[in-house]
Amino acid sequence: MSPSLSRRTALRCAGWGAGLLTGLRCAPDARAGAPVAVPLHALLAELDELSAALQRAELDGVDWQLRAQTLLCGVAPDELRAALELDWASLAARTQTAGRAELRLEPGELRGCPSTPRFRRKLFALGPGHAIVPHGHRNLVSAFLVLDGRVRGRHFDRLRDDPEAILIRPTQDRSFAPGDCAAISDRVDNVHWFTALDAPALLFNVSVTLPPRLQLRGSSTGRVYLDPEGEALEGGLIRAPRSTLSDLRAKYDGSGR
């Protein structure tokens, strides 16, 4: 078995299960039963070391993806929420006004976080029916943990970039509850899309930019916006036209889709 295929199999068995393990919360050993509880400060320290190793190109993006997802699924959402030192009233007001809010977290706003972490931290708050609209990433790895509410999460492998469209393949479409995790890399599940279901949702996100020697998509970084409701092709593939943040929000944000 090739290394890349072996890593993909490991990812699926860690809770990525489009058909095999849907709904299973991942753990260091998914076969062992319940996820293993990890003290938050220890988890964040290990995530920091993992991210530093990625920046030194000692592991690749898919390795980080698998290990970061496993780490995040080892912490209780309540513990992480309690460690956030935020103006929750302000965040709630922003979410109610706009339907969604995105907040970059300083190290001091997350108790137990290293003082100079090698990973970025964000919170995404979504009102019911609001979305993190479909997009892919260039030269970046990222992982999400649902802290509150339920979201519909859809992921797609990104197979080819064309000038007007991107060829994608659906990999998972399921409901994520508190404690559920997802992660992306350039090679696996690069395109994702989250929609809050019947109540407000809160998602914690970490990300790391790949070092130059691991970058697969030129030298630029950032999001790539596309519409997965594109042309259906043979084999379950989709030709997803390129789009913009404003157009995708007009179509999907607040629609519940």
C-alpha 194/C-alpha 67 separation (Å) is: 21
Q: Residue 109: CB partners within 8 Å, gap ≥ 6?
A: 84, 85, 86
Q: Block means of pLDDT (10 residues each) for the chain, length 257 residues?
A: 39 33 32 58 96 97 96 93 96 94 97 97 97 96 97 98 97 97 96 96 97 84 95 97 97 87
Entry pTM: 0.85
| pLDDT value for 254 | 85
Distance of CA 227 to the CA centre of its chain: 18
Mean pLDDT (the chain) is 87
**What domains can be seen in the chain, in order of their start residue?**
3-252 (2.60.120.10)
Q: Is the dihedral of CA 73, 78, 79, 85 positive or negative?
A: positive
DSSP string, 55-73: HTTSS-HHHHHHHHHHHHT
